[in-house]
Copies of this chain bind each other. A is one copy, B any other.
Amino acid sequence: MVYGIPHTQYEFASRTVSSCRRFHWIPSLQRPPHGPRTNVETYEGKHSANMASEVQKRTFGSAATHIQRNPAYSELNSDDVSYFKSILGDNGVVQDEDRIAVANVDWMGKYRGASQLLLLPKNTTEVSKILSYCNTRRLAVVPQGGNTGLVGGSVPVYDEVIVSLAGMDKIISFDNVNGILTSEAGCVLENLSTFVENEGFIMPLDLGAKGSCQIGGNISTNAGGLRFIRYGSLHGNVLGLEVVLADGTILDMLTTLRKDNTGYDLKHLFIGSEGSLGVVTKISVLTPAKLPATNVAFLSCNDYTSCQKLLLAARRNLGEILSAFEFMDHHCIDLAMRHLEGVQNPLPASQYKFYVLIETTGSDESYDKTKLEAFLLRSMEDGLVSDGVIAQDISQASNFWRIREGISEASVKVGAVYKYDLSIPVEKLYDIVEEMRCRLGDNAEVLGYGHLGDGNLHLNILSSKYDDSTLAQIEPFVYEWTSSQRGSISAEHGLGLMKAEKIHYSKSPEAVQLMASIKKLLDPNSILNPYKVLPQSVL
């Protein structure tokens, strides 16, 4: 029986679960190794050049007015360039305007610096010599990986020297018994992913930006991504690091051990510190075994409480095979259906208030499918799920994921979008969406979606155009509300330049002060990635 979607390859088998509820089954599938997902933020960047310039005026522009170039930094001169050429050769010292222009701006076109020099070291010793020199000369430095960040952390603010890790892209070793990968920091995530998949493993993180982002940047920003609910954070998966400190000291912490309780575990200082404490040059990461079977279900729920209960039941009943639990409110689905080409709602109509995408990944396709089906039937009988379908092949799974991931792309087609990436305790997570809807009334459309399994809400507020009165209704309320719930104003994107001055909403004064003390200890001249992560007032 073909149901609902006029999409030729779709074959749904309808099945009556109870007298009043339907369930539509599509058999399980193998997910493509480099699945169809893309970072939800990617679309925004690609499709919203106009919006980006608006945002620039509002965020970066205003940030720049508050942050002056630190006069303690020297200005680059020809002797500096000569020195860098002496250690890197001519090819390692880039002064070509076009190439520098690319490195001066983030990929969204939202943040733009004025660096005059891009350096391309090929090994750790060269990075060490660069930093040692810059530290002595008080030349500010911005370390740059794939430059795919979303908060302006990877581009210069003024005339910082750009140190790109792109030339350090060698895989050093792979332990195929334990799945431990050691590589240089400039390796592109997708290349590492392909390499370990050929060995029967997967990277513990997967991002839409994987074709450009580098593993050193991923670690420096503590990237979250699509495998977080299953494999957890990089603090759990990174085994070792080699880092060059501001004064050129090479800090060798590049173990490949799962267990090592000898002294303070210093590597964690560099995971998520956005290049402001040191430059990551080599990494070792634990990679999970690659499992062959993936199933994706697209479900509807009548209320947010049901979504929460479904999450609890999924953790308990799907336990070891649960690999994604994403939720969207019906505003998101309506928007996606209006603005995304070729995307269809697999469920009959927009009669439901909430939608949930569940993915499982395991080692036995037919068993996992049976298990997921049994779980969904039970969830319907318990009233947690109103309706739902399971994908039967890659293209159907891709369609389900495309709805979830296309929300951001669809959002920017409306006009202006105010975007927030928040961590909030799950039971309170949807409250901010409803409160924001009350505050804004007819002035804006408020969407709530995100990684429910991780407590990570994407709050998008759509309006016909940017205006100060709308912004004033949103901020600082959204930050204050998040702070009052002990949430995080940056779940996975970091602070960078965009939110450095807003850290107090998520961290106590004592914690910020200690961060500043550690920054001063490791980088007393503050040459590494200045103006970012921490407020200028504490440095």
Which residues of A are at the interface with B, using a C-beta cutoff of 8 A? Answer: 175-179, 200, 221-222, 224, 228, 232-233, 235-237, 249-266, 268-269, 271-273, 277, 289-291, 308-309, 311-312, 315-321, 361-364, 367, 371, 423-427, 451, 454-456, 486-495, 499, 503, 505-508, 510-512, 514-515, 517-518, 521-522, 533-534
Contact = CB atoms under 8 A, between A and B. Distances in A.
How many identical chains are in the complex?
A: 2
A257 B425 CA distance: 7
21 contacts: A175-B425, A177-B311, A178-B311, A222-B265, A224-B259, A233-B236, A233-B258, A236-B236, A236-B237, A253-B511, A259-B455, A259-B488, A261-B490, A262-B505, A262-B507, A263-B507, A263-B515, A265-B268, A266-B511, A289-B319, A518-B518
Contact of A486 (B256, B371, B495, B508): B256
A269 B268 contact: yes
A249 B312 CA distance: 37
B506 A262 contact: yes
A235 B494 contact: no
Given A320-B363, A321-B320, A486-B255, A277 B261 contact: no
A175 B427 CA distance: 9
B315 A251 contact: no
A534 B263 contact: yes
A487 B257 contact: yes
Nearest to A290: B316
Contact of A175 (B252, B367, B426): B426
A423 B260 contact: yes
Contacts of A454: 258-259
Given A289-B319, A371-B364, A488-B255, A262 B503 contact: yes
Given A255-B488, A507-B262, A511-B266, A426 B518 contact: no
Nearest to A236: B236
B177 A427 contact: yes
A233 B177 CA distance: 19
B363 A317 contact: yes
A508 B455 contact: no
A231 to B, nearest CB: 9
A265 B235 contact: yes
Contacts of A425: 175, 178, 256-257
* The 6 A-B residue pairs with the shortest CB-CB distance in the complex, in nearest-first order: A236-B236, A268-B268, A320-B320, A260-B488, A262-B506, A259-B491
Contacts of A269: 264, 268-269
A361 B320 CA distance: 9
A271 to B, nearest CB: 7
A257 B515 contact: no
Given A236-B233, A262-B488, A521 B511 contact: no
Nearest to A314: B289
A494 B320 contact: no
Contact of A515 (B264, B492, B495, B512): B264
Contact of A291 (B319, B488, B521, B533): B319
Nearest to A222: B261
A534 B262 CA distance: 9
